[in-house]
Structure 1
Amino acid sequence: MSVISVESNNIEVFPVRNAKQLDIFIRLPRLIYSHFPDYIPPLDFEETSLLHPKKSAFFRYGTAQYFLAYKDNKPVGRISAQVDPNALRQWKEPIGLFGALDAIDDAEVVQQLINAASQWLRKHGMEKIRGPYTLNVNSEAGTMVKGQKDPPMIAMPWHPEYLGKHIESSGLSKVMDLVSYQMIMGDKARKAHKIPSGLKMGSGRLGNITTRKLNMKEISRDGEILRQLYNDAWNNTWGFVPLTPTEMSVLIRDLKSMLRPENYVLVEQNKMPVAVALVIPNIYDLSKNIGPTPSLLGWAKIGYRVLRHQIQSARVILLGISHSIRDTAMGALMPSLVIDELFNRGELLSYKMIELGWILEDNKGMRNLIERIVPEPCKVHRIFEAKLHY
């Protein structure tokens, strides 16, 4: 196993080469963040699905290398470096990615990890480094710079406050913030969300607008509708990379047991899909007080909670409005109608809180709509970038 970065102050960075090292890589955040009272580790199977080369959808088309940092022979940090051909085609720039960056409060550890990732990306012909993305743009994104004390949310990474500062001191600069909002369900939020009087989908002026739920017997078909509409809606926005059929199939595989028909909002105009939203249950509610590695009894409790749908919170992860109506009056109204539909399903979904995110900080239209209900973001995740010097 060769050393990738230069040894400094007893810090060494090694590429992950075997199963034992991969296991350390996957579990490392739990080891180094365990003393933070606000950190709640995700379930091991979630992290394995996200990062293991045999489980992750990314490795079916992308290339990546994992690295571990050691200080005084103890693992103290990790990082991934990856080349995503889908991102290269979309961005038309040789931008390599980094992700899964977690470390102790040591600026030099972070510096050496970023050096290792940068060196690997240079060898693969990249001219810029951008991230963190774990492992691609459509998965976990950004370093948390605000919201550490808020409840954890599915597919939203947690980081201590120092990490973003250490990334900047390593020579990377902010390129975009991703913001999230917590919408507390109930009458107060419903009253704050106002749509023009007399407008109701399926009647009057909106007689040709209908909505439907997820068809569990045709979940793959509905997933493909969601994928195509999402890609159509967000094409040409900053950092967008199309969601692939493989990624959608893996998403469905991982979420199918938790989804109910009400979690899927499909809006059709004259029976043609024009808007979509997917609300995913917060798996942290299922694993509460059980821990990242459940026992048989722990798994039984999770299974019972799934069957009883004992979930208090959820996240809107995919929301899109078709280009066919985006620049019309109907397109401007559609996000409000989708949110209104979520309120209408309140009794069926029974969530006390729905997190809306992440949203690009410069998406003023969406932010203005949400901030009528929720004035301030609850969480901010930051994307960094730098040129790679040869």
Structure 2
Amino acid sequence: MSLDVIYCEKSKHFRDFLNVPFILHKQDQNWVPPLQIVTKRILNKKNPFYKNAKISLWVAYKDNAPVGRIACIINQTHNNYYEENIAFWGFFESEENNEVTTALFKKIEEWALTHKISTIRGPMNPSINYECGLQISAFDTQPFFMMPQNPEYYRSLIENQGYKKIQDLQAWSINVDQAKIEPKKLRTLQAVQKKYDIQIRLVNKKYLANEIKLISKIYNDAWCDNWGYLPLDLDEFNYLISDLKPIIDPNLVYIAEIAGEPCGFSVGIPNLNQILLTNRNGKLLTFNLLNLIWQIKVKKSINQFRIPLLGVSKKYKHLPIGALLYYEYIKRITPQAQFFGAECSWILENNHAMQAGLRLVNATHYKTYRVYEKKF
């Protein structure tokens, strides 16, 4: 048996990099094939992320057949912000084989050392503002849109390389049978809302550019003390959501205001994975954008949504604005509504305020993702 790990310089190697997950996971019925056009867009050097970052892509071949892949990322924005010198790994895939995994991690650790870096953290695909974390529980469930997924054996492969937990990320579930607030707690919540003149409004899609600026401003204020936080670059944010604009449901994006002053926001997105599950080759040609929009807007094939972003300005952290935003969502999770369930993800394991707001609306923590680190 020959085992080679090749740096992606040629288009053939890049195609193999994209195809590895399809080779490894096509028989897994819970696996949702990623849209290759989205992966290409994330890795494209035109992505504003790469203004301050570099990435190396590697593919493992066993007897000339692709059996694994990995990326190593140097994110200078992170290193400058935290005044440290680390690299990140991501986009990891491997057959259940320690030898393949060892060969992949050996390559990225050597590459990091050539840049005078001896600490690597991950998975980040390619940063904390994208998909991140290794799934370590709830393997009998399907991932929600823009959340990572992996087989159960990945955990032992990673830990066998000497990588240790640095942070856990949580996914919380709300379904039609749970979506409620106890009457006494609801009265208290509504009393606080009235006392401080807290209003929750829908995002104004007509002025979406201005609303995005407003959301990014609140986000940077609300999240800046959170583990792993990176300032949200507006160009990068616009680049990321440009493909999502056709499927954004304005009824799932909220702005919170106190006496007219914006103080919080939340973003919900339809769980596109309910449709993408059937698109087994990950190519948009066989599952075009117009069909996606028709499935979402007309046929209403999607009855779940995900809340990837929610933030409250530090000035108002003492008020239950997060709970009020979650309450707006559970109003939409009823037997009569389009949506029957939602996932709130991800939530830091030490973000107790956010967890309290989720418990208030009867959400449950059902899935965990782990971020690892190794010093060598």
TM-score by length of 2: 0.92
Q: Secondary structure at the match of 2:323?
A: helix
Are the aligned partners of 1:193 and 1:373 in contact in 2 as well (CA < 8 Å)? no
What residue is the counterpart of 1:284 in the other structure? Answer: 273
The Cα of 1:122 is off from its aligned counterpart by 1.6
Q: Following the alignment from structure 2 to structure 1, what is the Cα–Cα distance between the partners of residues 332 and 252?
A: 9
Deviates more, 1:137-146 or 1:233-242: 233-242
The Cα of 1:297 is off from its aligned counterpart by 6.8
The Cα of 1:83 is off from its aligned counterpart by 0.8
The Cα of 1:71 is off from its aligned counterpart by 1.2
Q: Following the alignment from structure 2 to structure 1, what is the Cα–Cα distance between the partners of residues 287 and 41?
A: 22
Q: Secondary structure at the match of 1:305?
A: helix
Identify which of 329, 351, 355 aligns with 1:342: 329
Deviation per residue, 1:286-317 (Å, 9 max, x gap)? 33434322445765532311332432111111
Deviates more, 1:287-296 or 1:236-245: 287-296
Are the aligned partners of 2:189 and 2:324 in contact in 1 as well (CA < 8 Å)? no
What residue is the counterpart of 2:154 in the other structure? Answer: 163
Q: Following the alignment from structure 2 to structure 1, what is the Cα–Cα distance between the partners of residues 198 and 136?
A: 40
Closer/same/farther in 2, CA of residues 236 and 32 from structure 1, 3 Å limit: same
Q: Following the alignment from structure 1 to structure 2, what is the Cα–Cα distance between the partners of residues 319 and 72?
A: 47
Q: Following the alignment from structure 2 to structure 1, what is the Cα–Cα distance between the partners of residues 357 and 3?
A: 48
Q: Following the alignment from structure 1 to structure 2, what is the Cα–Cα distance between the partners of residues 202 and 324?
A: 16
What residue is the counterpart of 2:174 in the other structure? Answer: 183
What residue is the counterpart of 1:353 in the other structure? Answer: 341
What residue is the counterpart of 1:33 in the other structure? Answer: 25
Deviates more, 1:369-378 or 1:73-82: 369-378
Closer/same/farther in 2, CA of residues 64 and 295 from structure 1, 3 Å limit: closer
Deviation per residue, 1:308-361 (Å, 9 max, x gap)? 2432111111111111112x3x2xx11211111212345797221110011111
Is 1:60 the equivalent of 2:48? no
What residue is the counterpart of 1:303 in the other structure? Answer: 293
Q: Secondary structure at the match of 1:160?
A: coil
Closer/same/farther in 2, CA of residues 374 and 74 from structure 1, 3 Å limit: farther
Closer/same/farther in 2, CA of residues 93 and 200 from structure 1, 3 Å limit: same
Q: Secondary structure at the match of 1:310?
A: coil
Deviation per residue, 1:2-30 (Å, 9 max, x gap)? xxxxxxx6221111002221121122111
Q: Following the alignment from structure 2 to structure 1, what is the Cα–Cα distance between the partners of residues 9 and 193?
A: 61
Q: Following the alignment from structure 1 to structure 2, what is the Cα–Cα distance between the partners of residues 254 and 193?
A: 40
Q: Secondary structure at the match of 1:161?
A: coil
Is 1:243 the equivalent of 2:232? yes
Q: How many residue pairs are counted as aligned between the two chains?
A: 373
Deviates more, 1:163-172 or 1:177-186: 177-186
Is 1:95 the equivalent of 2:83? no
What residue is the counterpart of 2:70 in the other structure? Answer: 79
Q: Following the alignment from structure 1 to structure 2, what is the Cα–Cα distance between the partners of residues 147 and 65?
A: 31
Q: Following the alignment from structure 2 to structure 1, what is the Cα–Cα distance between the partners of residues 34 and 257?
A: 36
Are the aligned partners of 1:144 and 1:382 in contact in 2 as well (CA < 8 Å)? yes
What residue is the counterpart of 1:48 in the other structure? Answer: 40
Deviation per residue, 1:125-178 (Å, 9 max, x gap)? 223100010011100001111122212211111110111111110111111111
Question: Which stretches of structure 1, 4 residues or more, deviate above 4 A after TM superposition?
Answer: 294-300, 345-349, 372-376
Deviation per residue, 1:212-264 (Å, 9 max, x gap)? 11211211211111111111111122111111112210233021101122121
What residue is the counterpart of 2:256 in the other structure? Answer: 267
The Cα of 1:44 is off from its aligned counterpart by 2.2
Q: Following the alignment from structure 2 to structure 1, what is the Cα–Cα distance between the partners of residues 171 and 364?
A: 9
Q: Following the alignment from structure 2 to structure 1, what is the Cα–Cα distance between the partners of residues 3 and 147?
A: 29
Are the aligned partners of 1:185 and 1:354 in contact in 2 as well (CA < 8 Å)? no
Q: Secondary structure at the match of 2:179?
A: helix
Q: Following the alignment from structure 2 to structure 1, what is the Cα–Cα distance between the partners of residues 297 and 115?
A: 47
What residue is the counterpart of 1:227 in the other structure? Answer: 216
- Unaligned ranges ≥5, structure 2: none
TM-score by length of 1: 0.89
Is 1:135 the equivalent of 2:123? no
Q: Following the alignment from structure 2 to structure 1, what is the Cα–Cα distance between the partners of residues 328 and 191?
A: 9
Task: Using the aligned pairs only, state the percent identity.
Answer: 25
Q: Following the alignment from structure 2 to structure 1, what is the Cα–Cα distance between the partners of residues 36 and 279?
A: 12
Letter in 1 for 2:20: L
Q: Following the alignment from structure 1 to structure 2, what is the Cα–Cα distance between the partners of residues 167 and 139?
A: 20
Are the aligned partners of 1:90 and 1:240 in contact in 2 as well (CA < 8 Å)? no
Two-structure CA RMSD over aligned residues (Å): 2.3
What residue is the counterpart of 1:23 in the other structure? Answer: 15
Q: Secondary structure at the match of 1:377?
A: strand
